[in-house]
């Protein structure tokens, strides 16, 4: 160790350290000062190197006090300062950039800048202060940098590619890689998703015999977890001879990140506790997240109790994950209690609560702002979802204005949420405005716009947007789900457009995706091609709830009661749980086929055996079923049990049944209700008019027609559709009504229709003769 020779320029820097008021004045009341003031007052101090005092304080994480010791020795006994003390002072300056720069200057004028250990400490300080440029200047000034110099610089790079180039330069310079080198390099591989390069590093680790090092093993576990290879992470973990808490936390995080291996995380946590390893917030957040994935409320509560016992009951990160876990397990009250017990709530805490308590989301958002917690893009996504779900249009406009003012609308994810919101609120013009403001459109942005058009019945426009999107970006399963829904719902779009989408998604390898297969099944079924629906269902390797429901709905729509019940029984035998939509399709099929007793059994089973709460649609199916079977009084009595009251469709169905069975009195009551609900719709008027005509009550027929004229109710013209174009020139069909000759090929169309009619009559006569 060499000592300092006092020089004039050194005295100037010495004064700068002595007159550091803010950082060091706080220390005057610190316990260190009172503990050592007697030492300062001693006329002859013991001959103990200053770096021993500093090192002791640094080990206790008392960095400011270590700097205080360094300052005092500069003031009273500068000769006792050596390169070790200066290196420790540089390390203590992390988080204090101004003092760090002064320490750097002191190192330069004192000559200690030539020491590699001092330079390494300075580089470490600058790297941790995100001042890579200055750190790199110090590194380049070194004549003989050692492995610590290279490792320090490697850990400071934020750009992964630059880090890899630096590591290659280190290897070319003949500096041997050690566990610290691999830890930094593997971390950069994980951040940059350079998994092929990471595998090469792993091979090099094995070649150098460093796989037993904890630093390297922990980095490898983290890497494999991030790239979704949990089995490889587990293999590395099992091969580690001496595991520490970091090793356990790394493998637990890997299990939790995978999502579908929550049970492995829970078992690992139990083993970690049994082996006596120290638990920290990382341990608790991982296992609580796993409990949320597994919906394991009981074990989640046990972990919550353990976290409180170990002193992490109010740790904000642990509490945030606990809130999410309780929410997933539908224990919303417990989630709110956890939130209320958090002392320092951050943006994640508030965002989680907003997603849990959607009904009061706007009030919570206001409280969040009052609490001086600034929202992020995830906050707005959750808030906009809550606003959309609860039809809070006024609040949606307010949030939109807030986002424009605070520049959050430039976040693509937030803009996408607004497109979805305005689509739900049927303000399609604002959807387009928001979409056009997005600079870097993702496929999610296009999906949101396609869904908005489809939701508002603008199906051809949705198909056109899909065509534009597929020219710019590769569609994903949700893109096809949205456009196939539009094709399925539109009578004016050619089935060939659906077949074209089918070919496109098959080319992309998306035909086995559950979202896409369900949409394809539905599209073909709605467009009358039940054979294609059956074919798609048969080709599925894994039939989930969506697929089973789709095929049952398809046959229900086609009136095939036998196939509906067949697939429903197979679904139950396969252990797939039916949902409310499945039962809706089955009840619809029972209704249309007059299977009243079976329908009642299915309805009761839905409630008692499958715990599915009946909605208004399910009750409507039962009313329709009873009406079709002639049980009109029973059907009318059931109307009062429908949650939210009977809707238009169920009343129209009951009115139709009244006409079939000639119940004029009930029909009048139902028609009056319908006319109040929809005074401009012609269906109710026409049904009542026809019923009165059948009963010979012509005065009432005339009265209804007069009422229609007075209210300006126009009877809608029924249309049929013909596919007359080719797939490239036209996306739509030609709609025509009875006696319509507006199409330019109407002559040929009528000739073909007459030909088909004659052929049908011929086949009927032939069939009758055979019988």
Per-residue pLDDT tens for 675-699? 777 776 666 667 777 777 776 777 7
DSSP letters along 219-286, please? HHHHHHHHTT-HHHHHHHHHH-SS--HHHHHHHHHHHHHHSS-HHHHHHHHHHHHHTTPPP-HHHHHH
Helix (H/G/I), strand (E/B), else coil: 721 = strand
Q: Can you tell me which residue has the tokens 């890997």?
A: 254
pLDDT mean over 430-442: 93
Rounded to an integer, what is the distance from CA 525 to the centroid of its chain? 30
The CA distances from residue 62 to 19, 53, 89, 104, in Å, are 20, 11, 12, 21
Can you tell me the distance from the alpha carbon of 61 to that of 32, in angstroms, rounded to the nearest whole number? 13
Give the percent of the chain with pLDDT over 70.
85
Tell which residue, 351, 370, 424, has the closest CA to residue 393.
Answer: 424
CA angle 518, 520, 522 (to 5 degrees): 70
Mean pLDDT of the chain: 83
Please provide residue 736's backbone torsions phi and psi, each rounded to the nearest 5 degrees. Answer: -145, 150
Tell which residue, 141, 93, 155, 99, has the closest CA to residue 121.
Answer: 93
pLDDT mean over 568-593: 92
How many CB atoms are closer than 10 A to CB 628?
Answer: 21
pLDDT at residue 10, rounded to an integer: 44
Res. 725: pLDDT tops 80: no
CA angle 317, 323, 327 (to 5 degrees): 150
Res. 735: pLDDT tops 70: no
Q: Do 304 and 310 contact (CB within 8 A), yes or no? A: no
Model confidence band, residue 5 (pLDDT cutoffs 50, 70, 90):
very low
Q: Within 13 Å, how many C-alpha atoms sit on residue 766's CB side? A: 6
Rounded to an integer, what is the distance from CA 534 to the centroid of its chain? 32
Res. 38: pLDDT tops 50: no
Show me where the domains of the chain are located.
Answer: 356-440, 457-542, 545-609, 615-718, 722-750+753-770
Helix (H/G/I), strand (E/B), else coil: 65 = helix
List, in sequence order, every residue forming a beta bridge with 735; answer none if it has no partner.
Answer: 721
Torsional sign, CA 387, 390, 393, 395: negative
Q: Do 445 and 435 contact (CB within 8 A), yes or no? A: yes
Expressed in percent and rounded to 5, the helix, strand and coil fractions of the chain are 75, 0, 25
Can you tell me the distance from the alpha carbon of 690 to that of 694, in angstroms, rounded to the nearest whole number? 6
Res. 364: pLDDT tops 90: yes
* Higher pLDDT among residues 669 and 275, named by residue: 275
pLDDT at residue 661, rounded to an integer: 82
Torsional sign, CA 250, 252, 253, 255: positive
Torsional sign, CA 502, 507, 508, 514: positive
pLDDT mean over 298-327: 94
Model confidence band, residue 338 (pLDDT cutoffs 50, 70, 90):
very high
Q: Within 13 Å, how many C-alpha atoms sit on residue 25's CB side? A: 4
Res. 650: pLDDT tops 90: no
According to CATH, the topology of domain 615-718 is 1.25.40
* DSSP H/E element including 579: none
Q: Could you give the maximum distance between any two Cα atoms of the chain, in Å?
A: 132
How many CB atoms are closer than 10 A to CB 721?
Answer: 15
Torsional sign, CA 64, 68, 71, 77: negative
Residue 576 DSSP code: P
pLDDT mean over 546-552: 89
How many CB atoms are closer than 10 A to CB 711?
Answer: 13
CA angle 529, 531, 537 (to 5 degrees): 110
Q: Which of 13-22, 83-92, 178-187, 624-633 has the lowest mean pLDDT?
A: 13-22
Res. 530: pLDDT tops 50: yes
List, in sequence order, every residue forming a beta bridge with 721; answer none if it has no partner.
Answer: 735
Can you tell me the distance from the alpha carbon of 314 to that of 344, in angstroms, rounded to the nearest whole number? 9
Please provide residue 707's backbone torsions phi and psi, each rounded to the nearest 5 degrees. Answer: -60, -40
Res. 52: pLDDT tops 80: no
Helix (H/G/I), strand (E/B), else coil: 352 = helix
Q: Provide long-range contacts, Cβ within 8 A and 24+ apart, for 395-403.
A: 395/362, 396/421, 396/422, 396/425, 399/362, 399/365
Model confidence band, residue 446 (pLDDT cutoffs 50, 70, 90):
very high
Can you tell me the distance from the alpha carbon of 442 to that of 353, in angstroms, rounded to the nearest whole number? 28
- Greatest mean pLDDT among 6-15, 156-165, 516-525, 687-696: 516-525
Burial (CB < 10 A; 0-12, 13-18, 19+), residue 366, is exposed
Q: Do 246 and 214 contact (CB within 8 A), yes or no? A: yes
């Amino acid at each position: 160790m060499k000592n300092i020779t006092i020089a004039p320029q050194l005295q100037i820097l010495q004064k700068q350290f002595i007159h550091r008021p803010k950082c060091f004045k706080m220390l005057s009341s610190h316990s260190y000062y009172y503990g050592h003031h007697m030492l300062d007052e001693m006329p002859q101090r013991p001959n103990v190197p200053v770096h021993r005092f500093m090192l002791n304080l640094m080990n206790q994480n008392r960095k400011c006090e270590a700097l205080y010791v360094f300052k005092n020795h500069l003031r009273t006994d500068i000769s006792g300062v050596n390169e070790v003390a200066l290196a420790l002072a540089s390390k203590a300056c992390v988080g204090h950039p101004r003092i760090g720069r002064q320490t750097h200057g002191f190192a330069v004028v004192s000559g200690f800048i030539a020491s590699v250990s001092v330079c390494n400490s300075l580089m470490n300080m600058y790297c941790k202060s995100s001042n890579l440029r200055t750190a790199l200047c110090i590194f380049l000034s070194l004549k003989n940098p050692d492995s610590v110099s290279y490792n320090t610089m490697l850990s400071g790079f934020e750009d992964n590619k630059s880090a890899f180039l630096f590591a290659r330069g280190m290897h070319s310079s003949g500096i041997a890689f050690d566990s610290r080198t691999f830890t930094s390099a593997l971390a950069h591989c994980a951040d940059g998703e350079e998994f092929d390069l990471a595998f090469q590093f792993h091979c090099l680790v094995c070649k150098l015999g460093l796989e037993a090092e904890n630093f390297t093993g922990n980095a490898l576990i983290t890497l494999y977890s991030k790239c979704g290879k949990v089995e490889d992470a587990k293999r590395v973990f099992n091969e580690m001879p001496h595991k520490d808490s970091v090793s356990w936390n790394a493998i637990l995080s890997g299990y939790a990140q995978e999502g579908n291996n929550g049970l492995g995380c829970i078992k690992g946590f139990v083993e970690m506790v049994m082996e006596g390893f120290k638990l920290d917030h990382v341990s608790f957040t991982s296992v609580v997240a796993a409990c949320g994935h597994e919906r394991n409320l009981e074990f989640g509560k046990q972990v919550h109790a353990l976290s409180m016992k170990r002193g992490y009951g109010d740790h904000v990160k642990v509490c945030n994950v606990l809130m999410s876990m309780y929410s997933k397990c539908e224990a919303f009250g417990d989630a709110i209690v956890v939130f209320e017990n958090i002392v320092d709530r951050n943006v994640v805490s508030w965002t989680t609560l907003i997603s849990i308590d959607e009904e009061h989301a706007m009030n919570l958002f206001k409280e969040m702002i009052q609490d001086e917690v600034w929202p992020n893009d995830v906050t707005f996504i959750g808030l906009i979802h809550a606003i959309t779900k609860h039809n809070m249009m006024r609040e949606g406009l307010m949030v939109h204005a807030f986002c424009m003012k605070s520049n959050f609308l430039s976040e693509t994810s937030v803009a996408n949420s607004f497109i979805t919101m305005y689509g739900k609120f049927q303000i399609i013009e604002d959807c387009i405005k928001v979409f056009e403001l997005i600079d870097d459109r993702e496929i999610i942005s296009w999906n949101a716009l396609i869904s908005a058009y489809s939701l508002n019945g603008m199906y051809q426009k949705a198909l056109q947007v899909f065509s534009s999107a597929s020219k710019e970006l590769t569609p994903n399963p949700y893109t096809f789900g949205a456009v196939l829904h539009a094709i399925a719902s539109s009578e004016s779009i050619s089935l060939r457009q659906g077949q074209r989408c089918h070919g496109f998604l098959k080319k992309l390898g998306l035909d086995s995706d559950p979202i896409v297969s369900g949409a394809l099944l539905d599209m073909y079924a709605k467009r009358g091609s039940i054979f294609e629906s059956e074919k798609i269902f048969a080709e599925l390797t894994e039939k989930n709830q969506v697929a089973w429901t789709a095929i049952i709905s398809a046959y229900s729509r086609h009136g095939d009661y036998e196939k509906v019940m067949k697939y429903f029984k197979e679904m139950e035998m396969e252990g797939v749980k039916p949902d409310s939509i499945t039962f809706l399709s089955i009840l619809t099929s029972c209704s249309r086929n007059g299977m009243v007793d079976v329908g009642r059994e299915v309805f009761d089973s839905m409630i008692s055996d499958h715990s599915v709460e009946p909605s208004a649609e399910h009750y409507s199916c039962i009313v329709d079923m009873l009406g079709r079977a002639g049980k009109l009084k029973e059907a009318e009595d059931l109307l009062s049990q429908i949650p939210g009251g009977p809707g238009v469709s169920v009343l129209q169905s009951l009115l139709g049944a009244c006409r079939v069975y000639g119940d004029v009195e009930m029909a009048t009551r139902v028609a009056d209700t319908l006319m109040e609900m929809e005074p401009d719709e012609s269906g109710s008027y026409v049904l009542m008019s026809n019923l009165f005509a059948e009963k010979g009550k012509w005065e009432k027929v005339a009265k209804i027609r007069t009422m229609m004229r007075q209210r300006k109710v126009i009877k809608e013209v029924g249309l049929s559709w013909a596919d007359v174009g080719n797939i490239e020139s036209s996306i739509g069909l030609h709609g025509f009504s009875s006696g319509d000759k507006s199409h330019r090929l109407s002559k040929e169309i009528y000739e073909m229709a007459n030909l088909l009619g004659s052929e049908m009559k011929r086949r009927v006569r032939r069939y009758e003769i055979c019988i």
